Amino acid sequence: MTYDFPPFLADLDAAREHGFDLMTKAVRLRTAPMHTPVVSTIGSDGRPRARVVVLRAFDREQQQLRFHTDIRSDKFHELDRDPRIALSFYDAQEKIQLRIEGRATLHQNDAVADNAWSASQPMSKLCYAVEPGPGREISARDDFALPRDRSESEMGRAHFAAVIVTIEEVDWLWLGAAGNRRAAYRFANGQIEARWVVP
């Protein structure tokens, strides 16, 4: 039986661009599976730590993506200590997994952070006004304060950070009816190194 491969399997460039199309779409589309990747950092004790974040921006020309976090969170401190970062994306309908490795830069008091904050919805901003900070132990379940009124949303700005990830490597995997295919990409000095690898 013959099988028509999808067009994005034509070559390594098409596979990469298709993966990047999915990420681009996922920034705006809250229901897209790639809207909420898993981000992994290196814990202060050297152990891997993973959690879900919202993908806020993706720039395929610069090979950079952005997410937001609270400066009081563990992940912020972990990235401050060691900027190496990995992200996993999976779109079950497209049958595509993207594993990204790169380096993070933290933006608190600069134009990157200001622009990201300005573009954020009031509801998203409110989360950054929580007291005490995320991860702190509390004596009872509800022993924290989170403003509910949108007029208070600016209170969180002092705790807000934009994290920019510069992508160094992408591991692309397609689990298809005709068998699996896998490609690896490395981005450095404006060059893209690409190769097929065994899935």
Ligand X SMILES: Cc1cc2nc3c(=O)[nH]c(=O)nc-3n(C[C@H](O)[C@H](O)[C@H](O)COP(=O)(O)O)c2cc1C
Q: Which is nearer to ligand X, 68 or 181 (CB)?
A: 68
Cβ-proximal residues to 46 (8 Å cutoff; 6+ apart), any chain: none
Give the distance from CA 1 to its chain's centroid: 39
Q: Under the criterion CB under 6 A, does residue 74 sit at the interface with ligand X? A: yes
- Quick one: which of 135, 193, 196, 197 contacts ligand X (CB under 6 A)? 135
Minimum separation from the CB atom of position 166 to ligand X (A)? 18
- The reply on whether position 53 binds ligand X by CB under 6 A is yes
Query: Which listed residue (33, 42, 49, 103) binds ligand X by CB under 6 A?
Result: 49
Measure the CA–CA gap between 126 and 110, rounded to whole angstroms: 20
Contact 164, 85 (CB under 8 A): no
Cβ nearer to ligand X, comparing 134 with 176? 134
Q: Does 17 bind ligand X (CB under 6 A)?
A: no
Residue 145: is it exposed, middle or buried by C-beta count within 10 angstroms (0-12/13-18/19+)? exposed
Euclidean distance between CA atoms 68 and 52, whole angstroms: 11
Q: Does 52 participate in binding ligand X (rule CB under 6 A)?
A: yes
Q: How many CA atoms lie within 13 A of 174 on its CB side?
A: 21
User: Residue 22 CA to chain centroid, in angstroms?
Assistant: 13
Considering the complex, what minimum distance in angstroms separates the CB of residue 114 from ligand X? 18
Give min distance, CB of 56 to ligand X, in A.
7
Residue 67 is a binding residue for ligand X (CB under 6 A) = yes
Site residues, ligand X (CB under 6 A): 36, 49, 51-54, 67-70, 73-75, 134-135
